[in-house]
Chain A
């Protein structure tokens, strides 16, 4: 495995078991290959930064992100690296939606590790404060942060490798109005840059179709009791609520909807199709709709093949984070392979030329504001697993 910087607080427990497993597999596969086949990359390593939530509430997501990036980097290096040089990924902890920690992580990657490109931060509140640094140091970043504000800054060094929430909101609103026939709609969102900009996009999409939400509620990542919010929606007589939130509140909200016995439906952000939500919500997850980029149960052969590859290394199925950032690392390698001398501005320019790159998640094409993903999926949870109902394009 390429040299990776372990965050000290992530040693031990499952981290170290995985690291041992990973390096064991790497050593085993290297031993099996005849020396002639192995095109070991030589030359100075290319430093790539990865800002991930390695500790705190979102550490599981950060771990998946790290696994996706590490797997892609290992495969790139096994094939001879980029222009004969191995890629070396420096991981830093941004603690998820924490603007201060994300700024510290990225400034360290830029100034001390002198990386030529950054993967992450993943969370909208983490990316926003980092954007000026990226343009100052002329280093591009590939992020999966889906808040519309991320690319509204018109920063040429910011590239988004997931569906923009503004587009997602339009697709979801279309679905709930046309297919689910909801008339009275309530809105609920997590009060962070992510939730605020997501719900603003939903409001805009609703008003474009002449619908005014009958009730709007908000919560925090730490909110545990949703009784007053759910009773407000009940009193307003909503047919359904559109929710833009993170993992922990998503599970509690749906669980409490069930215990309170409310009758309205729920459609929401990607969160509502991902493993943490499904594990936390249990039975209560059934019947929940979401707009998403990736669901594990997608029968597409591209996804089933990817699941096999990932499972062989990490002994679990890949989810959104691992998949997004596996693709991001590969897009980065593709861009680096096309430039003369590897530098931040050269990679930035090459990234703007990405067109119809078929990754695992989707096909990536750069568009003017930095968005690279232009289609999404509508999923419904059935029998505890999200099922793709339709693929929707911008």
Chain B
């Protein structure tokens, strides 16, 4: 029985880790430029297609190199995103920028079908179907990898934000772009870097997800919705909030599906979100003030 609970919790945490990675991308871009990037889930999908559809299936790159090549592609894409999608509308009303990300989402979902075909792609990943035994519970090894990578990403990001000048520049730009500019920070460059980082983050999520989900044009849609809910649950704009919100949502879904009903899995998850919004509208880690310049 306890093995079942452990299996459910770890499975939920792994799903939650994926939501958290995507939620982190939401949070970064929200903090930096004050828009919700609705294409964040589709960036996950793009990363997965690049790594499986091209690096692995066509170029036959070894595991590891495929990840590096994909991250390179995603970085270039992130830059293009900042220059061609965000930059033209950065002075327009916030809504225009949000609509631009929605447009990008549609373009991506249909473009991948044209490039890689409509059939979902299957991918074994570095671990194949391997499983590990933890306290008598059989766990999909990929789930453990996902949790490990999330932890690593959190530590790297925390270190970067605290101890590097680029990281400090990103934080300054996020807090107050105008003041940062006055302090000599080249905010447009920092903004571009944030888009690049958010895309790379999504790419990593795609690489991690590809063996668990299949790679299909709609794989980002549900993740994106859950990640958005994670952000709200944890507190929009808060990095620990995105992490805890994601993990919590994953575990709630998993336990709720088992102990209550799989039919009401979304009702349970979004019910918790609803209650949170009523009781604590700013989310778990959010600050009560929500006004932005």
Whether A260 touches B138, Cβ cut-off 8 Å, given contacts A55-B113, A227-B7, A235-B4, is yes
**Which residues of the partner chain B approach A222 to less than 8 Å between Cβ atoms?**
218, 221-222
Contact of A147 with B by CB under 8 A? no
Choice from B12, B15, B214, B253 contacting A248 with Cβ under 8 Å: B214
Give Cα A378–Cα B291 distance, bound, in whole angstroms: 62
Are A280's CB and B214's CB within 8 A? yes
Are B113's CB and A227's CB within 8 A? no
Q: Number of A-B pairs whose CB atoms are under 8 Å? A: 105
Contact of A296 with B by CB under 8 A? no
Within 8 A of A (CB), among B211-227: 212-214, 216-218, 221-222
Give Cα A60–Cα B117 distance, bound, in whole angstroms: 8
**Which residues of the partner chain A approach B119 to less than 8 Å between Cβ atoms?**
60, 276, 279
Give Cα A63–Cα B119 distance, bound, in whole angstroms: 10
Least CB distance from A148 to B in Å reads 20
Interface mask (B250-265 → A, CB under 8 Å = 1, otherwise 0): 0001111110001101
**Which residues of the partner chain B approach A55 to less than 8 Å between Cβ atoms?**
110, 113
Give Cα A252–Cα B4 distance, bound, in whole angstroms: 20
Contact of A219 with B by CB under 8 A? yes
**Which residues of the partner chain B approach A63 to less than 8 Å between Cβ atoms?**
118
Are B8's CB and A227's CB within 8 A? yes
**Which residues of the partner chain A approach B122 to less than 8 Å between Cβ atoms?**
251, 279-280, 282
Interface size range of chain A in the complex: 35 or more
**Which residues of the partner chain A approach B138 to less than 8 Å between Cβ atoms?**
259-261
Least CB distance from B263 to A in Å reads 5
Whether A225 touches B218, Cβ cut-off 8 Å, given contacts A14-B117, A276-B120, A279-B122, is no
Whether A9 touches B110, Cβ cut-off 8 Å, given contacts A60-B119, A259-B131, is yes
Contact of A229 with B by CB under 8 A? yes
Are A218's CB and B263's CB within 8 A? yes
Within 8 A of B (CB), among A5-25: 9, 11-15
Q: DSSP class of A's interface residues: helix, strand, loop or mixed?
A: helix
Choice from A15, A57, A228, A260 contacting B216 with Cβ under 8 Å: A57
**Which residues of the partner chain B approach A343 to less than 8 Å between Cβ atoms?**
none
Q: Which of B8, B15, B118, B266 has the most CB of A within 10 A?
A: B118
Are A12's CB and B114's CB within 8 A? yes
Interface size range of chain B in the complex: 35 or more
Are A232's CB and B131's CB within 8 A? no
Are A231's CB and B218's CB within 8 A? no
**Which residues of the partner chain A approach B12 to less than 8 Å between Cβ atoms?**
227
Whether A59 touches B15, Cβ cut-off 8 Å, given contacts A248-B120, A259-B140, is no
Q: Which of A57, A62, A225, A231 has the most CB of B within 10 A?
A: A225
Contact of A183 with B by CB under 8 A? no
Are B129's CB and A255's CB within 8 A? yes
Whether A280 touches B120, Cβ cut-off 8 Å, given contacts A59-B113, A251-B214, A260-B138, is yes
Are B217's CB and A252's CB within 8 A? no
Whether A217 touches B15, Cβ cut-off 8 Å, given contacts A55-B113, A227-B8, A235-B4, is no
Contact of B206 with A by CB under 8 A? no
Give Cα A346–Cα B120 distance, bound, in whole angstroms: 41
Within 8 A of B (CB), among A47-105: 55-60, 62-63
Give Cα A63–Cα B140 distance, bound, in whole angstroms: 34
Contact of A263 with B by CB under 8 A? no
Give Cα A232–Cα B259 distance, bound, in whole angstroms: 9
Least CB distance from B289 to A in Å reads 35
Give Cα A247–Cα B122 distance, bound, in whole angstroms: 13
Interface mask (A197-233 → B, CB under 8 Å = 1, otherwise 0): 0000000000000000000011110101101110110
Q: Which of A58, A229, A235, A259 has the most CB of B within 10 A?
A: A259
Are B114's CB and A13's CB within 8 A? yes
**Which residues of the partner chain A approach B78 to less than 8 Å between Cβ atoms?**
none
Give Cα A367–Cα B122 distance, bound, in whole angstroms: 41
Contact of B92 with A by CB under 8 A? no
**Which residues of the partner chain A approach B203 to less than 8 Å between Cβ atoms?**
none
Contact of A192 with B by CB under 8 A? no
15 A-B pairs with CB atoms under 8 Å apart are: A9-B110, A9-B114, A57-B216, A58-B118, A60-B119, A224-B212, A225-B212, A228-B8, A228-B11, A228-B256, A229-B262, A231-B8, A251-B122, A260-B7, A280-B120
Chain B residues proximal to chain A, CB less than 8 Å: 4, 7-8, 11-12, 15, 110, 113-115, 117-120, 122, 129, 131, 138, 140, 212-214, 216-218, 221-222, 253-258, 262-263, 265-266
Chain A residues proximal to chain B, CB less than 8 Å: 9, 11-15, 55-60, 62-63, 191, 217-220, 222, 224-225, 227-229, 231-232, 234-235, 247-248, 251-252, 255-256, 258-261, 276, 279-280, 282-284
